[in-house]
Structure 1
Amino acid sequence: MKNQHLTSSLNIFPKSWSEESAGRVPGNIPIWVGILSELTEFGIFFVAYFIAKFYYPNEFISGQQSLNTALGVTNTVILLFSSYFMAKAMCFIRVDNKAKCERYLWLALSCGCLYLLIKTWEFHWNDLQGFTSNTSEFFTVYYYMTFNHFLHVGWASCAILWVIYRLRNGAYCAKENSGLEALAVYWHMIDLMWILIFPLLYVLR
């Protein structure tokens, strides 16, 4: 269902779905419906985090100290760069520079793939240390939040490939780029969620 929301939002919509008729809201209505549903889901995770931390403070302190913080910091920097590249891609499509737009989309995709590789290694590293979702209440919350975010980055990265394909086939230009903009908005939402997840799991004691 989430994939359908994202994929359908990246298509070229009639004028009624464009940014103009949406009251200058970036992207289009379907992507915002998807984003609001995603934010609700993450909101539930955040509530669960604070409830669990309140009842199991020692498990959370011990769990946070056991994580590989360096990998978390690295992925944070990577996602910040990915948002920058996505913003640059939007800037260039708005001036009809499709070549540079595509270049920055590839850079954003590379960041997404690098994030997935590092996060996969982190999961493997945790497993080598004997940490699983059943280790403690902290790791139960940790895996639910980070794996859910991992999936979001994964299918959003696939969406970048789809957008690059459509860009090459002339689907986007300076006057019509709501599909590409929808992807950019979704990507920024994913990055924002990680910026919230990272300090909660890795930094705050």
Structure 2
Amino acid sequence: MDLAASAVPVEAPTVPGNRGIWVGILCELSEFALMFLAWAWFRHVHPDDFHAGPAMLNAGAGIANTVVMLTSGYLAVRAVLAIRRGDGIAARNWLIATLCGGLAFLLIKAFEFRWNIEHGVVGTGNSFVAMYYYLTFNHLVHVVWGCLGLIWAILRAQFGAYSAADHEGLEAAVLYWHATDLAWIVIFPLLYVLH
């Protein structure tokens, strides 16, 4: 008996999303890695600024945004699970919920920036504050891009572009969203917790 002929073909595991999104995520995470190195350098050179820095910030806003990012990441996972079951309507609804989380992040961040200005937390003369704005504005831009990707995926889901067998674009949007979550999970303790 020829064992090779009787073997059941095994499909190679597939990587979620597509190559393009993985290149984008690699670029995003590389950019943030360089920013984290800059943060470490400035912390080393200006330890007093970084020791006093977290007390200057609105910790409640940082905590709220962390909860929002983690919750929206969970909602994004639910969208992928729904489309893998072939439930396009549920996937779209989970994506809409994820987008609402992204919009909530942006609103909280706008409130926080306004609070900062009212309390004199401006980016001049203090290396911690400068790094705070550098990291958070960069992250904010990535959240906006993530929201735009989610809107695109929502529209495609609305018009039935995704199925259980073909949902690469939905996965790509979710993967980008998770990369943005990951960046925030590092930013939060660096800016709001570590003294």
> How far off is 1:135 after superposition?
3.8
Distance in structure 1 (CA, Å) of the matches to 2:35 and 2:112: 20
Per-residue displacement from partner, 1:156-191 (whole Å, max 9, x unpaired)? 112111111111122111000011001111111100
| Percent of residue pairs identical | 44
Segments of structure 2 that go 5 or more residues without pairing to the other structure are 1-10
Distance in structure 2 (CA, Å) of the matches to 1:166 and 1:200: 37
> How far off is 1:102 after superposition?
1.1
Letter in 2 for 1:73: I
- For residue 144 of structure 1, the aligned residue among 134, 145, 158 is 134
Segments of structure 1 that go 5 or more residues without pairing to the other structure are 1-19
- For residue 106 of structure 2, the aligned residue among 110, 116, 120 is 116
> How far off is 1:203 after superposition?
0.4
Tell me the residue number matched to 1:189: 179
Q: 3-state SS of the aligned residue for 1:26?
A: coil
Matches within 5 A, 1:58-69: 58-69=48-59
Matches within 5 A, 1:124-135: 124-135=114-125
Letter in 2 for 1:110: C
Taking structure 1 as the reference length, what is the TM-score of the superposition?
0.87
Matched, 1:103 2:111: no
Per-residue displacement from partner, 1:116-167 (whole Å, max 9, x unpaired)? 0000110111011111111400011100000100111012112111111111
Alpha-carbon RMSD across the aligned residues, in angstroms, is 1.2
Tell me the residue number matched to 1:77: 67
Per-residue displacement from partner, 1:42-69 (whole Å, max 9, x unpaired)? 0110000000001111111222111011
Distance in structure 1 (CA, Å) of the matches to 2:142 and 2:52: 28
Q: Which has the larger radius of gyration?
A: 2
- For residue 76 of structure 2, the aligned residue among 66, 86, 94 is 86
Tell me the residue number matched to 2:169: 179
Taking structure 2 as the reference length, what is the TM-score of the superposition?
0.92
Tell me the residue number matched to 1:8: none
Tell me the residue number matched to 1:41: 31
Aligned residues: 185
